[in-house]
Amino acid sequence: MSKSTSNTTGLHADSLLAHAGGGFDPTTGAVVPPIQTATTFVRDEDYELVNPGYIYSRDSNALYQKTERLIAALEEGEDSRLFSSGMAAVAAVARSVRPGGTLLAQSGIYWGTTLFLRKHCARNNIALVEADASDLDAFHDEMSVTRPDLVWLEVPSNPFLKIADIQKISELCRQSGARLAVDATAATPLILKPLALGADLVMHSATKALNGHSDLLGGVVTTADASTDTWTFICEERQNAGAVLGSFETWLLLRGLRTLSLRVERMNKNAMALAEYLEAHSKIDAVLYPGLASHAQHELAKAQMTGGFGSLMSVLVKGGKADALKVAGALDVFQRATSLGGTESLVEHRFTIEGEGSGIPENLLRLSLGIEHCGDLIADFDQALAAI
């Protein structure tokens, strides 16, 4: 098991990212790392590995390791593992809970995570409890009763943009012996560092802002302590189950990471400006965005998040389903698609995706802000809202 370390170069994260975490390729001097396409590695006449540590590319891949070291440094963690998708990363963490155990998950989070956890736990004799993590007292009570093995948070939550107090929940986890995992996909490591707040594991769908170009599927998990049994299990799960990212996809991810700081800066600026504009609009009932003073956990968000509040928000259009769909259909700059964190701004009618019984308001539109000119995004919403 290779072990990554936190950033010891003294470089700011922006510079570390710009150089892809390590400058030029020492073999050729190329400023862009090569794509390692080999799946297996030779041994010499004495059957010794020509390059110790490189046996088979399911786990032995220099490009994986370079990208994992960079992400671990961004997270201020000890080690990272890339996965073939965000859900593969979620699955590896969830499987660390043994049959007969208990998993306490934040309610109202990404529907794909909730659906997987429900089915996985039901099939494996794992008790799944769902609770609102933004209500700290109620969540504490739930922890006291259920005594979970693993607590799963999503900060900010998708699509309701709720903020859980990671530091206080991590203290509760330590008192009860639970492990704490945080999905921080909507924030990125440049805005939120759950490990520094006491989490044991942090997960991202690398499909989203880490890559930022909507052209790969990927996931990553980072640990605060690489010596734990949980981390050993997750590493073995990745290697043995084969949920690995392809070499080309890893190269695309590393390329995307080079511009992460610039993209996050613009996306955050756009999100804040649009949130303020829409909050004052007569045809919007509410804007769910932690950067607004009206957000229920705004002060907590300011304490936990640095450099912005993320590029994801939800808005409640005045009226019902038909009005929300009319606004979505009238948008020109915003593309109607399901994802977040890309260079392009997206709008999604979340109720259409999740359907009846999901708890999603029919008038909710989820927005992912891209890097376009802010004036164009505001003008686009202005003309779309005129349609209702």
Enumerate the active-site residues.
Answer: 58, 110, 183, 208
Of the candidates 68, 63, 67, the one whose C-alpha atom is nearest the C-alpha of residue 38 is 63
Q: What's the CA gap between 271 and 366, in Å, rounded?
A: 12
How many residues in the chain?
Answer: 388
Residue 276 C-beta-side C-alpha neighbours within 13 Å: 10
Chain-centre distance of CA 69, in angstroms? 17
Distance CA 157, CA 25 (A): 39
Cα dihedral 84/103/296/138 (nearest 10): 180
Q: Which of 152, 127, 126 is nearest to 139 (CA)?
A: 152
Distance in angstroms (rounded) separating the CA atoms of residues 126 and 208: 29
Residue 353 DSSP SS3: helix
Residue corresponding to tokens 């969540």 = 139
Q: Which of 207, 322, 331 is nearest to 274 (CA)?
A: 331
Q: What is the DSSP string of 88-123?
A: HHHHHHHTTSPTT-EEEEESS--HHHHHHHHHHHHH
DSSP 198-244: T-SEEEEETTTTTT-SS----EEEEES-TTSHHHHHHHHHHHHHT-P
Tell me the DSSP string of 162-206. ----HHHHHHHHHHHT-EEEEE-TTT-TTT--GGGGT-SEEEEET
